[in-house]
A = this chain, B = another copy of it.
Amino acid sequence: MSQAGSSRWSPTTEQLMILEELYRSGIRTPSASQIQQITTHLSFYGRIEGKNVFYWFQNHKARDRQKLRRKLNMQLQLQQQLQIQQHYQFNHDISDHFVGNFGFPNCFTPKEFSLFNSSSLLFQGGIANTLQRDMNFKWGVYNPQSLVEKKDITFCNNGWTLMDANKQPSSCCTRLLKTLDLFPLTTIRTKEDCTTTHQPSSCDM
C-alpha cells in the first residue's frame, strides 16, 4: 500500500530530501504562498497536499528544538556529575590524607558532601530548565516572508484561503451541509458547561 488507501501521507525519498534541503536553507514557518510553491514542486515526486508540507515543517522544527534541548540537558548533567565526582574525589583524597574534618564543626564528610550536592544538582536542573525554556522564545526562526504574508491567509468560505486582492473569495462551492442544524429556531440549553469527555483509550507507550 504505497499510495493507495493509506490514511496518512508518507513522503517519498525525493520529497524528503527537498524538504530537508529547504529546512537547512533556513525555512521554518513557510507562508501560505511558499507552501503552495513547495507543494506544487513536490507533487511532481508523488501525491502530496499543502497541509502535509505545513505539518512537516512544524514537526521538524519542533523536533529539532527538542533534540537540541535534550542534547544540552545531557551535556549539562554530565558536566555537573563530572563536577560532583571531582569534588568528591577531592574530598576523598583529603580524607585519605587527613583523618577527621580539621576540627571544624560544620565541615562535611565526603559522604555528606556528596549528598548535599546531589540535591543542589536537582535544584540546578530546575534552573537549567527554566533558562532553556526562555531560550526557546528566542530560538524561533522567523521567516520575514511569512510575517508579511500571514495576514493574507484567512479561513474563509471554503476554509483557509489566500486573500490577495479579492477580499471576498469567490464561493466556488457553497453547498449547504445537512450535518448539523447550526441555527435552530429554538434555544436548547444543555448542561451549561458541556463535559463530553474524551474516551480514555488504551494509552500505552
List, in ascending order, chain B residues with CB within 8 A of A142's CB. Answer: 196-199
Q: Report yes or no: A36 in contact with B141, Cβ–Cβ below 8 A.
A: no
The stretch from A49-57, A106-114, A116-124 touching chain B is: A49-57
Convert A1-41 into 0s and 1s, putting 1 for each residue whose CB lies closer than 8 angstroms to a CB of B. Answer: 00000000000000000100111111110011111111111
Contact at A37–B176, with CB atoms within 8 Å? yes
Chain B nearest Cβ from A185, distance in angstroms: 12
Q: Give Cα distance in the complex from A133 to B197, angstroms.
A: 16
Interface contact A197-B155, CB-CB below 8 Å:
no
Report how far A205 CA is from B152 CA in the complex, Å.
12
Q: Is B189 within 8 A of A24, CB to CB?
A: yes
Query: Within the complex, what minimum Cβ distance (angstroms) separates A3 from chain B?
Result: 13
Provide the bound-state CA to CA distance between A40 and B174, in Å: 10
| Listed A/B pairs (22) with beta-carbon separation below 8 Å | A22-B182, A23-B194, A24-B194, A28-B194, A31-B179, A32-B159, A34-B180, A36-B156, A36-B158, A37-B177, A41-B182, A49-B154, A49-B155, A50-B154, A50-B155, A51-B154, A51-B160, A53-B155, A141-B198, A142-B199, A144-B198, A160-B161
Residues of A in contact with B (beta carbons under 8 Å apart): 18, 21-28, 31-41, 49-51, 53-54, 64, 68, 138-145, 147, 149, 151, 153-164, 170, 172-177, 179-180, 182-184, 187-190, 192-201, 203, 205
